[in-house]
Amino acid sequence: MTSSAANTIPIDHMRDRYWRGTLHLFSKQPKLRGVFTIQYFNLHYRSIKASGLKRISAPWSQSEKFMLNLALHLYNECHKVNLCDMDYLDPNNKQLAFEAIKMRFG
């Protein structure tokens, strides 16, 4: 069993604009929270195993994939996201997405 990465978030990560929105989504969105583990996150080295997350997300719904893609994009813009896919989101996920975008871009 893997440990939750959420239990070990360093405070400086929450001040970092590249991490803040990403961590917000991974700690608040139910599907993302389920994979917010040390298997995919090394917070000490500030790294995310994006390829592993994308691989396990293959069977997820469009909205869940969008939330993952948004979280990864906020962390590093080399991970692309199509904002038009926000149409798939329910009001709660849309609110989380807007909060995370605001955290990243102010």
DSSP for 59-87, written as a single string: TS-HHHHHHHHHHHHHH-TTS---GGGGG
- pLDDT-derived band at 8 (thresholds 50, 70, 90) equals low
Out of 19-28, 38-47, 57-66, 77-86, pick the least confident: 38-47
Q: Write out the E strands in the chain.
A: 41-42, 47-48
pLDDT (tens digit per residue) in 9-18:
666 666 788 8
pLDDT (tens digit per residue) in 41-54:
988 888 999 999 99
Residues in the chain: 106
Helix (H, G, I), strand (E, B) or coil at 57: coil
**pLDDT score for 1:** 35
